[in-house]
Amino acid sequence: MISRYIPEFLRHAPTPGVTGFAVLAGIEASLRGMLVSVWPLVMYHALGQDAARVSVLYFLAGIASLSWGLMVPWLNRHVPRRWVYTLGACLYVAGAALAIRGGSLAAPAALILMNFATVTVFICTNAYVMDFIARQELGRVETQKLLYSALSWTVGPMTGVFLWKWWPALPFVLAMGFAAALLATFWYLRLGNGKLITRARAPAPNPLAYLGRFFRQPRLIAGWLFAVIRSSGWWVYVVYLPMFCIEAGLGDRVGSIAYSASNAFLLLAPFIMRWMRGRGLRRAVRTAFGWAALSFAVAGFGQFWPPVTVVALLLGSGFLVMLDTFGGLPFLMAVKPAERTEMAAVYSSFRDVSGILTPGVAWVILLVAPVPAVFVACAAGLGVMAGVAGRLHPRLGELRGRARAGHSLSS
């Protein structure tokens, strides 16, 4: 009898759905959006205002994050997923606390811990999405996540830099609060450990063994490459545009303002997805990569007239937002149910691989050329991906049969 006095939300766990994952994404975006434009400035000043040294730091941090990300599936086999997610949220708090301490050693260590947190939460979230969201709903959940994150990514970068200039510790204090909110929301949703998929054979004891299955599936490789190069574009935009603006005499706030403005495109995510459905996933991905490549190439002329770089990269970021909206679908649609956690870990590695590739290539370029040359190199990579996108199946991403009818009724 006493059970009738227990609130409904305590007696029955809420069913995980699109909105729940979108709320988690929005909270995490508040945390990361607050710091995304702060980190390059913190590192630039902590390392003697040397762009090449900052590139080396990001390169090493990327290697560390990639190694951590590849070990998360192994950790998940020994620790329940809900606790792995909790660890990720706690790493956000630890990284922010270390950043408040500051210094030439503590600041890089804080960045690495924050990267570990992002990778851990990303892997767990993607595994949960593939557990609880139907295949035909993946596009909807990605759109909803971006929509809930739009305000944070739009206001956060500019606000973070403003607060950092007022009191360097304040953005990190707020980030700790968002991390606590993220963890509380996760436990309220009661996602548990996800759905258990039993394989016919025992899982491979080597945490790297699943990479062989990944490399035997061309669709997964292509989808992963799209994510890597898209992320590299964001790396160049977030890290090297502020450095360029400082060196060109445009100030240290122009980069964060541009980044905030570009993230306003996230509000268009539902219209972007509708545009993609009308043209097909292959054509949409190819178009977005092609125009992004052209924009980054034009940014290379900023050596002669700096404002052209800001305008061109702002335009190019719009196409990167388009890729954020639907560019992950080729990978997610190709994952087999029994490989969700492992392939989520592979997919999450795109952040770290781009975090190694981008500063590594930039460091070599900066030894012989100015920062605008980094924009041109990024344009080349985006152009190559436009060619790869042309090899996707022309009907990839289309809704079929009952799923198409259900989607039409719901829209």
Predicted pLDDT at 289: 94
Q: Is the pTM here over 0.75, yes or no?
A: no
Q: What confidence score (pLDDT) does residue 376 get?
A: 94
Q: What is the pLDDT of residue 93?
A: 94
Euclidean distance between CA atoms 276 and 281, whole angstroms: 6
Higher pLDDT, 266 or 2: 266
Given this model, what pLDDT does residue 14 score?
A: 53
Burial class (CB in 10 A: 0-12, 13-18, 19+), 270: middle
Q: What pLDDT shows up at residue 204? A: 43
pLDDT band at 16 (very low <50, low <70, confident <90, very high): low
Give the number of C-alpha atoms closer than 13 A to the C-alpha of residue 321, restricted to the C-beta side.
Answer: 27
What mean pLDDT value characterizes the chain? 79
Topology of the domain covering 15-397: Growth Hormone; Chain: A; (1.20.1250)
pLDDT tens per residue across span 129-154: 777 776 666 667 777 787 788 788 77
Nearest C-alpha neighbor of 261 from the set 37, 21, 16: 37
pLDDT of 371 above 90: no
Query: What pLDDT does 15 receive?
Result: 56
* The pLDDT value given to residue 384: 94
Output the pLDDT for position 232: 92
* Lookup: tokens for 238: 């977030």
pLDDT band of residue 394 (cuts 50, 70, 90) is low
- Greater pLDDT, 87 or 17: 87
Whether 21 shows a pLDDT value over 80: the answer reads yes
Tell me what pLDDT residue 338 has: 65
* pLDDT tens string 81-103: 889 999 999 999 999 999 888 77
pLDDT for the residue 295: 95
pLDDT tens digits for range 312-328:
999 999 999 899 888 87
- State yes or no: pLDDT of 207 exceeds 80: no
Q: Which of 16-20, 40-44, 402-406 has the lowest mean pLDDT?
A: 402-406
Spacing of C-alpha 408 from chain mean position:
30
- Give the model's pLDDT for residue 100: 87
N residues, the chain:
411
Confidence label for 193 from pLDDT (cuts 50, 70 and 90): low
Alpha carbon distance 186, 177 (integer Å): 14
Query: Angle CA(130)–CA(197)–CA(10) in degrees, nearest 5?
Result: 70
Helices 218-235, 340-366: inter-axial angle, 10-degree rounding? 40
Q: What is the mean pLDDT of the segment spanning 323-334?
A: 80
Q: What angle do CA 240, 245, 249 make, to 5 degrees?
A: 150
pLDDT at 114: 92
Residue 6 has pLDDT above 50, yes or no: no
Residue 48 has pLDDT above 50, yes or no: yes
pLDDT at position 186 over 70: yes
Q: Is the pLDDT of residue 106 over 70?
A: yes
Model pLDDT for residues 243-296, shown as the tens digit of each residue: 888 888 777 677 777 877 887 787 787 788 888 887 778 888 899 999 999 999
- pLDDT attached to residue 188: 87
Among 5-19, 81-95, 112-126, 363-377, whose mean pLDDT is lowest? 5-19
| DSSP string of 378-401, one letter each residue | HHHHHHHHHHHHTTS-TTTT---H
Work out the percent of the chain whose per-residue pLDDT is above 70: 81
